[in-house]
Homo-oligomer: A and B are copies of this chain.
Amino acid sequence: MSFLSTQPYKGTRDFLPEEMSIRTQIFEKLFHTAELFGFRRYDGPILESAAIYEAKSGEEIVNQQMYRLTDKGGRELALRPEMTPSVARIVAGHQNEIVFPARWYTHVNCHRYERPQRGRVREHWQLNVDIFGSEELTAEIEIFDLVGALLTALGASPSMYVIRVNDRILIDAALTNYVGVSQEKLGVASKLIDRWEKMDQETRHEAAAELGFSNSQVDRLEMLVRFDLESYCVAAGKEVTSKSRVAKIIREGLSTAPLHFDPVIIRAFDYYTSTIFEVFDRSPENRRSLFGGGRYDNLAGLFTDRRIPGIGFGMGDVTTWNFLEHNGLLPKPDLGPDVFVFATNGEYDAAARRVVRSLRDAGIRTAPALDNPPIKGGLRLADRLGARYTVIIGENEHASNSVSLKNMATSVQITIPESDVVRMVKDGFE
């Protein structure tokens, strides 16, 4: 007989309890922090109409990475590759009930058809956070502060990461005024900058020439990507700078998070209109982008003529896990049970069940053996499960109407009346 493969589908992952406990602890800290910031959790379906991505999610996602399917009614569907179009749809659909500005978060998995490699999988889990209905820079401050608080909640210090920020209105103005890029070429110029750090000088000059940029324009691009905020603002011009939330927040130190202006941060999503940011690990071995986001003022425009600006980000599990691991911050698995219970003989099962039920009623994670192992075998199983205490009901215990309770860490074992088990486990003993 031939067996089916036990491997998960390529690029997806099984989470065994040890790994799942870590993932759950990470996300629960994130949820708790988002709620401290007044965000409310929502959820949406994994299957969406493909059309909601086709307009604004960017060519790579739509043409190369999206899982598509057609249902029996002929509907063109996609497994969501990202959450922002879904939440824009939901918010647009409920615009008359929602209190704006609205702070929303969710925990979703997204699918992208990628070549699996370190940090890239086909199904990943993310925290997705958005503020809808505000164009005030306070929304940016809240989002930046939240990014800092989320990483703090995971144990990170501000020296471990940096939030690299940019502003598409500054970029467009600087490309126009300083580099002399025409309106039609702003998009390709941005995409070139997006790949800037991944190319050596020769390659990027070739790429720029292919796109029709002159040598002097390329020289100016080389300058521009090295500018600090003040030079960049000069290049963009005063009027645009006065509208840049990013410029004001950095200049006046309005966020508590470690922000750093960076001209090469572009973000590949076509829907971002102004503030964009990406969080980077600062450790030398892992200088990777952790996650990012930005402001999208027109995304709900696919669904409604009401203008509903938004700003948000998605924080994925894979890069976050790598970041925590590199910095020694990964939580330890917290697996039950606290107490393992066994009877050495089926005749004592009723007593074992009473003990199990009273422990659970007292809020203590408890698992009984399902058979009747000998004492050594029962203790070995308790040990392998990582139980903190073991309740043993053997011949002697049964004869004396008592149970033995063993502290698995210290190996101290006491024999006590059945009715004392809950108290002894709660109080502990050495």
A residues with a Cβ closer than 8 A to B are 1, 3-10, 12-17, 20-21, 23-24, 35-49, 51-52, 55, 67-69, 71-73, 75, 77, 79, 89-90, 92-94, 97-99, 101, 103-104, 109, 111, 113, 122-123, 131, 134, 136, 138-139, 141-142, 145, 149, 254, 256, 302-305, 335-337, 340, 349, 353, 357, 360, 363-371, 381, 384-385
Contacts and interface: CB of A to CB of B under 8 A. Distances in A.
A42 B104 CA distance: 26
B9 A47 contact: yes
Contact of A45 (B13, B304, B357, B366): B13
Given A1-B305, A89-B6, A99-B385, A134 B370 contact: yes
A36 B360 contact: yes
Nearest to A360: B36
Contacts of A302: 3-4
A134 B123 CA distance: 32
B20 A42 contact: yes
A47 B6 contact: no
A336 B39 contact: yes
Given A43-B20, A48-B9, A3 B93 contact: no
A97 to B, nearest CB: 8
Given A14-B93, A93-B6, A370-B101, A109 B46 contact: yes
Given A4-B51, A134-B370, A303-B4, A14 B38 contact: no
B3 A366 contact: no
Contacts of A367: 37-38, 103
Nearest to A44: B14
